[in-house]
C-alpha cells in the first residue's frame, strides 16, 4: 500500500542554520503520525515545506504518490492537503458559518462562482453544516469568529479543514492554548477524524500525542532522531535525553 503522504529527504537551510536536515517521514492510511520536538527543532519550518509555503532546498513531498513539491499552497490544498494553523487563521469578522462555507467553496474548485448567493447554496451549506456538527460548533454557526472562545476557534480550524474532505490532514499544534477540558475534546475529535483521513500531527501536548499517535517521529535540530510506536519512543533513551526529560 502506498503512503498517503510521503516526505523524502527534505532539507532547508537558512544561512548556516540547517532548519530541516534530510527529513524523511511517511503518513499511512488511517494513522495519526505525530511529530514532536523541542522548541526550535524545526517543526514549523517542516510543516511549511509540507504545505507549500516554503520551498525546500532539497527533497520532495508526495501526496497519494503524486509529486506536489512544485505546487503552491492553494494547489496542494486542492490536491487534498487539509491543514490547520498553530495560530488560528480565520476570517475573524465573518461568521462561523461563513468560514466553513469558505472551505466548501474551496473544495469545489479554484474558481468560485460570482452570481449565486454563497450562504443560500444548499450544497455548500450542507457540507459546511456537516463539518460544524462533527466538531460540535453547530450551535455557534451564526456567531462571529471574533466572539468565539479560543477553544472554539481551534475547533473551527479543524471544521474548515474537514470541509475540504482532504486525503491527509496536516495539523500544526491543534492543542495549542487549550485547557484540560479543551484538550480532551480535541483529542476525542482527532481520534474520530483519523477514520476520514490520516493526520500528520505536530504537537507539544504529550498527553494528547501519547493518547492519539500510532507512530511518533522526534525532531531535534532539524533531524528526525527517532521514529516508532508510542511504546518504542517512550522507551528510547536518546529521545528521553533529547526531549522527554525536559518536559515531563
Partner 1 sequence: MMRERTVNGIVLAGLWLIPLTAWLMGAPFTITLATKVAILALAGVGLNLALGIGGLVSLGHAAFFGIGGYAMGVLASHAQAFDPILTAPFEWSGTKSMPVIWLFAIVAGALAALVIGALSLRTSGVYFIMVTLAFGQMFYYFAISWPAYGGEDGLSIYVRNGFPGLNTLDPIQFFAICAVVLMAVLWLVSRIVASPFGLALNAARQSEARVRAVGLEPYRLRLIAFVISGAITGLAGALFADLNRFVSPVMFSWQMSGELIVFVILGGVGRLFGPVVGAALFVTLEHWLGGLSDYWHIYLGVLLLLVVLFARGGIVGALARRDGHD
Query: Residue 53 half-sphere exposure, CB side, CA atoms within 13 Å?
Result: 9
**DSSP summary character for residue 89:** -
CB of 134 to partner 1, least distance (A): 17
Confirm or reject binding of residue 105 to partner 1 (CB under 8 A).
Answer: yes
Residue 245 sits at φ, ψ, to 5 deg, of -60, -30
Distance CA 106, CA 154 (A): 20
Residue 185 sits at φ, ψ, to 5 deg, of -60, -45
99 vs 242, beta carbon nearer partner 1: 99
102 vs 140, beta carbon nearer partner 1: 102
Q: How many residues bind partner 1 (CB under 8 A)?
A: 45
Confirm or reject binding of residue 231 to partner 1 (CB under 8 A).
Answer: no
Q: Which of 36, 33, 91, 69 is nearest to 206 (CA)?
A: 36
1 vs 114, beta carbon nearer partner 1: 114
The contact pattern for partner 1, residues 46-75, with x = CB under 8 A and - = no contact, is -----x-x------------------xxxx
Among 112, 179, 238, 245, binds partner 1 (CB under 8 A): 112
C-alpha cell at 105: 467553496
* Strands laid side by side in the 215-220 sheet: 81-84, 168-172, 199-202, 32-36, 215-220, 223-228
Among 1, 120, 195, 237, binds partner 1 (CB under 8 A): 120
Confirm or reject binding of residue 191 to partner 1 (CB under 8 A).
Answer: no
Binding residues (CB under 8 A) for partner 1: these are 51, 53, 72-75, 77-78, 83, 85, 89-95, 97-99, 101-103, 105-110, 112-121, 124, 142, 160-161, 163-164
Amino acid at each position: 500500500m502506498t503512503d498517503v503522504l510521503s516526505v523524502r529527504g527534505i532539507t532547508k537551510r537558512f544561512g548556516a542554520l540547517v532548519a530541516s536536515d534530510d527529513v524523511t517521514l511517511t503518513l499511512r492510511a488511517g494513522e495519526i503520525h505525530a511529530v514532536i520536538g523541542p522548541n526550535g527543532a524545526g517543526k514549523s519550518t517542516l510543516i511549511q515545506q509540507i504545505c507549500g509555503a516554503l520551498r525546500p532546498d532539497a527533497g520532495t513531498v508526495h501526496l497519494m504518490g503524486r509529486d506536489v513539491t512544485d505546487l503552491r499552497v492553494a494547489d496542494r490544498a486542492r490536491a487534498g492537503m487539509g491543514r490547520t494553523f498553530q495560530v488560528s487563521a480565520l476570517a475573524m469578522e465573518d461568521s462561523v458559518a461563513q468560514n466553513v462555507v469558505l472551505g466548501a467553496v474551496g473544495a469545489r474548485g479554484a474558481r468560485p462562482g460570482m452570481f449565486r448567493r454563497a450562504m443560500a447554496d444548499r450544497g455548500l451549506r450542507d457540507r459546511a453544516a456537516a463539518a460544524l456538527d462533527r466538531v460540535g460548533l453547530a450551535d455557534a454557526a451564526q456567531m462571529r469568529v471574533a466572539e468565539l472562545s479560543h477553544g472554539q476557534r481551534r475547533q473551527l480550524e479543524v471544521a474548515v479543514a474537514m470541509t475540504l474532505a482532504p486525503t491527509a490532514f496536516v495539523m500544526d499544534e491543534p492543542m495549542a492554548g487549550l485547557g484540560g477540558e479543551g484538550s480532551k475534546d480535541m483529542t476525542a475529535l482527532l481520534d474520530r477524524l483519523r477514520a476520514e483521513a490520516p493526520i500528520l500531527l505536530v504537537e507539544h501536548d504529550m498527553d494528547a500525542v501519547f493518547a492519539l499517535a500510532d507512530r511518533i517521529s522526534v525532531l531535534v535540530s532539524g533531524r528526525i532522531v527517532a521514529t516508532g510506536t508510542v511504546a518504542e519512543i517512550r522507551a528510547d533513551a536518546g529521545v528521553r535525553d533529547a526531549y522527554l526529560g525536559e518536559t515531563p
